[in-house]
Chain A
């Protein structure tokens, strides 16, 4: 055996089981918890960075999917939900309890960049403070807000009185860096044609180039988490997910909640309903990607141009199919725990024919898009090698969905953490190694093709489904009360990426804590990485290529 070539036996095996992980972490683990989705390790507040670094470097948990904070009667708790980009079914939760009187915990930001915003949100809504955090400010609520709305002692009825002088000059002396500074501060948004909603990008320009950039979010915060905590599992929560990513990706969002709640309460979903769910979700994905491509073209082209209208025209066909299926065009409210709300519309043949017509016309439409967009040399000059997001950076920010796949990260929960009917069907995960604006656009266009493949197979299956086996919903108790203190974090592949839901049950028919991990929230964090040093138009293009929906960022 030569010394230069280490053999297989010399490489330490990556810890796999919970026991191995516990051994790896050693005495940093003060207690163990068991979440439905993953083993949980309780660590002390000053061991957070150590623990996460060990898990990332020695056990391969390179994806900090979400940070959940919550308050119990006797303590605050932060949960770091870790996954692997290679295998998202391999999960682990790091639970960090902090005392009620002094909820201070170490920040995970030095290990995972994505923790920056997640911890700011935890501080903002729950009130946990993070030491070492580079910029611990409120993120969703105004900076003048009093109290932390999701903490136990928060008084909703207390009016938020903000004296006028605090808002007297929101521009803070024009942000001048100094008399001799040759940079210029520009507010891009919250009302700007290219911010896709009420996003506020604080931009410092050096000439036309971006010297510094900071996204300011929260303008569309609608207390979605709290509303879900006040609704019953069985009926009242399901309409809300439609409102997160409202770009007609509703059914994908509903599925995120359905999946988490069904796994929490051990509900079965009939196979027939799974096929319908799969088909309708992919229809939603096409609608969402069409709009993403259209608005991206709008950002790069300028005015209302052919691409945008063509994309909306084709999206309209999907919307018509979804309307036939669900009765709604935007807020579908179609899924139910244990199934879907109703069967396919009668006459079924007409519905299948309409769907098939759409699928038949799709290749031609996509060809047109490729001619107009991806084949256009000016567009290529504008998007290739701009807004570069290297895969390592993308992983550190927890980027998922087309943003990650455009950076060559082969990560798609539909395949890697199969749910619904996806693993029975024949389709591919699309990735592109370009890491730039063009790749993200290209990945979306190709994903539309894959979604069409999935829909076609689902239609075939549904057409041949025996009439007496069409169960659309399993038997679900009228009042759903999962046993107390079960915790689950489950994610699905939504149009924008990994949409995760954390639910802690408290024995009642309403969740004790309901946390939404929005893919746009994590993806948007990568904007400074992509844009700094580039020109304003490239920043706009990068923002368009991220395909954020502010309803989902702000929740």
Chain B
């Protein structure tokens, strides 16, 4: 008996047509039509999704990260405040928000103030086009994938602004490092993403998810779907690596490198600004996970559980992966990083493009 796949996400989106499923649903539920309904629906939908993401980040940042790292490093971590130490989230929020906001002399304002806002918001923006299952999909433009990559890249701008505006040499180095790193790794990332487009033939997120629902092979009655990670595992590995560099986690956490340049671009940020940058980093990890899930793991698809749950599981799995790498893998040096990026990943991603073209030719 084949296990039915969740395909809710694609059910209400017709490929090739730009649409805004969640906004439409909300507008419909409220009974407001026309332009007003569109705007209201979109705003409420964005509010809803942003809040879901921020709540996840709040759990991930102060609590899950500590617990996961502790598990890797043979410790216990937070366990005093509330069940499993969960109330540490509240305590940390109060602590961080009540700190004095110190702005260094000679900081370049308003760039110094804009940067910590830009970083989390660019990542949140990317979620607008991610299909999360159960009809939770804010917008579905024809150029969805390009939009997601573009939105994620804005964060680099925030990092450079933060690094430059802090009037701190460590921050400057961190900002420059982050630019060098993002240049070197975004091209392989986008090229590998493009290989998926060869396969799906569309940039629309719903189309990409729909293309992956078909059956790849049946093994002993279990239907293996045509997830791109199964079709081309090489591209998946490549994408995950580039993604790790894109979100700046070990072994590619060079822009921060606490033992070298003391947290790099965020050295001078404290209090609310620190919280914003910190949130931004985690949302960025989640966005990286969401793009990877959409492109390679069938988006919100999965057996038995609802699509949204699968989607959350997949992005948390990516989060776990980044934390695992952080605990176990040494950081590479900046010149090695650039070398891996330009001499290794770039070449491999072009090779992957050719490989994918061959695979698509065989499958089609």
Contact = CB atoms under 8 A, between A and B. Distances in A.
Interface stretch (A32-40, A57-65, A246-254, A372-380): A372-380
A477 interface: no
B75 A378 contact: no
B333 A193 contact: no
A186 B172 CA distance: 11
B336 interface: yes
B170 interface: yes
B169 A536 contact: no
Interface in B262-284: 262
Most interface-central of B73, B74, B260 (chain A CB within 10 A):
B260
A303 B261 contact: no
B43 interface: no
Nearest to A381: B336
Contact of B259 (A193, A378, A538): A193
Given A306-B73, A309-B75, A379 B259 contact: no
B169 A184 contact: yes
Contacts of B334: 208, 535, 537
A497 B326 CA distance: 33
A310 B73 CA distance: 7
A465 interface: no
Interface string B144-178: 00000000000000000000000001100100000
A192 B253 CA distance: 18
A413 interface: no
Interface residues of B, number: 29
A206 B251 CA distance: 24
Nearest to A297: B330
Q: How large is the interface on A (under 10, 10 to 19, 20 to 34, 35 or more residues)?
A: 20 to 34
Q: Is the interface of A mostly helix, strand, loop or mixed?
A: helix
Nearest to B334: A208
Contacts of A379: 330
B259 A194 contact: yes
A299 B262 CA distance: 11
A184 B257 CA distance: 19
A303 B332 CA distance: 13
Nearest to B73: A309
B358 interface: no
A304 B257 CA distance: 12
A376 B330 contact: yes
A302 B326 CA distance: 8
Contacts of B259: 193-194, 298-300, 302, 540
Contacts of B330: 297, 300-302, 376, 378-379, 382
Contacts of B336: 381-382
A304 B74 CA distance: 12
Contact of A538 (B170, B326, B329, B333): B333
A222 interface: no
Contacts of B75: 309
A302 B332 contact: no
A194 B260 contact: yes
Most interface-central of A379, A382, A537 (chain B CB within 10 A):
A537
B327 interface: yes
A438 to B, nearest CB: 12
A313 interface: yes
B331 interface: yes
Interface in B292-340: 326-336
Given A193-B258, A540-B259, 6 more contacts: A186-B169, A302-B253, A303-B250, A308-B73, A378-B330, A379-B330
24 contacts: A208-B334, A298-B259, A300-B259, A300-B330, A302-B257, A303-B69, A303-B250, A303-B253, A303-B327, A304-B69, A304-B73, A305-B72, A305-B73, A306-B73, A309-B73, A309-B74, A372-B328, A381-B333, A382-B330, A382-B332, A382-B336, A537-B257, A538-B333, A540-B260
Interface of B: 69, 72-75, 169-170, 173, 250-251, 253, 256-262, 326-336
Interface of A: 184-186, 192-194, 208, 297-306, 308-310, 313, 372, 376, 378-379, 381-382, 535-538, 540
